[in-house]
Structure 1
């Protein structure tokens, strides 16, 4: 017998994924309080009792979307650590590629990004954890000789999260800039500064 929240079979997983996709769109477009389970199930062409085979409540499906966002973003940030032994001449491209991966995830999952990065109660905590992981990465990269020893990596990590957060909202999610261009601008600013 299937546990609540997981219905066995390929059709069950497809239906569950569809409910998550539609719920993400609804929450992103209408906000948490204005989103109704009745709208989600109507758009998914399932009954309301079917919804409860997969999710206990509106809160449960919203929380799962937040958790999916958090897990995917944390994985990308963990994978952004530069490996040892890179040539200094390749650093700009390597760092740009890793930040591009984060922006690409946000662009490909705009609803999930709005939910996890901006709407969720725990969005501040998510950003704090991301900043901590970035700081950990930067300190290791600093010890590997990639960055100056006199730079406070806590400040860099917090600044980077702030820049990413703001540019995602004002440029990326509005379709004004591509992930690669944003990443390139950020990396050049952080690596080379503003002085001509």
Structure 2
């Protein structure tokens, strides 16, 4: 998990990272209001006053976790944009790779994902921003000729965020689907639909 803020030396940075990690689990399991600073520092084997060497308050700690999630998700979404000149035969794989990277982040940091995508008051804003970024990516890719020009990419982006949100909870974080398999299935659905195309394989 990333670290920002005041420097306290190597041991201080380790303590700060430990507090972030423990707090993420506590917030993800109990929610913001039921999570106590006393419980976080007890698990970290630190004193309660030492907590305030690293964070001004429980709210500040929670806000930092939300920001860490927001920044990483935004970075991964930016990196997923397709550049011009990709061969059509590799298009679906490239799209799947970008989506799988987001899902891998959620699997590697499940507590952070639960906080930023579901628990935080800012979760709706984060998902709105994600939809806007995806729309911008899709519009650019549409202009490159990858997708049909008559598709409203705002609808596609909102639908994709809805799929990511629901399937993260029901399949990904439950361990029922790997990031790669889930990404492939979503991309296949969005690119090919569910209807049988006569003359094409149904597989």
Q: TM-score, normalised by structure 1?
A: 0.96
2:69 aligned residue:
69
1:184 aligned residue:
184
Cα deviation for residue 10 of structure 1 reads 1.1
Structure 2 CA distance, aligned partners of 1:7 and 1:89?
49
2:46 aligned residue:
46
Cα deviation for residue 6 of structure 1 reads 1.4
Cα deviation for residue 7 of structure 1 reads 3.4
Cα deviation for residue 176 of structure 1 reads 1.2
Alignment of structure 1 residues 85-100 onto 2, 5 Å: 85-100=85-100
Q: Deviations over 1:114-142 (max 9, x none)?
A: 00000000100000001000000000000
Task: Say how many residue pairs are matched.
Answer: 192
Residues 7 and 53 of structure 1 are in contact (CA less than 8 Å); yes or no, is this contact kept in structure 2? no
Cα deviation for residue 17 of structure 1 reads 0.5
Q: Deviations over 1:30-52 (max 9, x none)?
A: 11111100000000011111100
2:138 aligned residue:
138
SS for the counterpart of 1:35 is coil
Structure 1 CA distance, aligned partners of 2:56 and 2:8?
16
Structure 2 CA distance, aligned partners of 1:124 and 1:61?
20
Q: Deviations over 1:75-124 (max 9, x none)?
A: 00000000111001110100011100000000110000000000000100
Structure 2 CA distance, aligned partners of 1:31 and 1:129?
23
Q: Deviations over 1:131-177 (max 9, x none)?
A: 00000000000000000001000000000000000000111111111
Residues 117 and 127 of structure 1 are in contact (CA less than 8 Å); yes or no, is this contact kept in structure 2? yes
Structure 1 CA distance, aligned partners of 2:30 and 2:175?
20
Structure 1 CA distance, aligned partners of 2:79 and 2:173?
23
Which runs of 4 or more aligned residues in structure 1 lie more than 2 Å from their structure 2 counterparts after TM superposition?
A: none
SS for the counterpart of 2:175 is coil
Cα deviation for residue 72 of structure 1 reads 0.2
